[in-house]
Structure 1
């Protein structure tokens, strides 16, 4: 996979997180109960692009994420280097 899909109308923000542990928690504890599955992805992104977005604290040092407006997702995807890989999945 080379890009994240567009956000749905009720998803105005894309929230890439800064640690795999936090991503696992979201996928396992939130996404599985809500939708029946959860996935953790890993990807590289151009640091110069990402520097335009401050890291947000979403509940402590272990819960940090970026808040990318849905309208910025095409530029975010263009800044991804290489492929997006699924590293953990919860069926």
Structure 2
């Protein structure tokens, strides 16, 4: 490590975003799409799991590959992240940072180490698909 204090964050993603992160050597998040004004890493693994399991596995924007949801874990320099306020996203335990999409490239430069996949969720097959 480089001796800097870090904060561990989590990010729920679908297959397309995961493929782009992998292509970066597990070092950065891809630019946001035109309709995505913020990048929102979350503060807890539990919240990221809820999004990946309950939303990403049902989202057609996840790449149409079985609607897989992944939870990623990564560390960001505390001093850099400190400029952003923690936001509550519908509840006391649902906390995330709102990084403006135009700041994402700089945000990526403050990731320490690699972005790691820590969970993978696939939809439960329905009885109709049998």
Q: TM-score range by the shorter chain?
A: over 0.9
In the TM superposition, structure 1's runs of 4+ consecutive aligned residues that sit over 3 Å from their partners are none
Which residues in structure 2 correspond to 1:49-64 (within 5 Å)? Answer: 49-64=80-95
Q: Name the TM-score, length of structure 2 as normaliser.
A: 0.68
Matched, 1:31 2:56: yes
RMSD: 0.8
Which residues in structure 2 correspond to 1:1-80 (within 5 Å)? Answer: 1-35=26-60, 36-80=67-111
Q: Name the TM-score, length of structure 1 as normaliser.
A: 0.96
Q: Distance in 2 between matches of 1:37 and 1:67?
A: 24
Q: Distance in 1 between matches of 2:48 and 2:42?
A: 6
User: Displacement of 1:60 after TM fit?
Assistant: 1.5
Asked which structure has the greater CA Rg, the reply is 2
Question: What stretches of structure 2 of length at least 5 have no aligned partner?
Answer: 1-25, 61-66, 123-130
Q: Distance in 2 between matches of 1:69 and 1:38?
A: 23
Question: What stretches of structure 1 of length at least 5 have no aligned partner?
Answer: none
How many residues matched?
A: 91
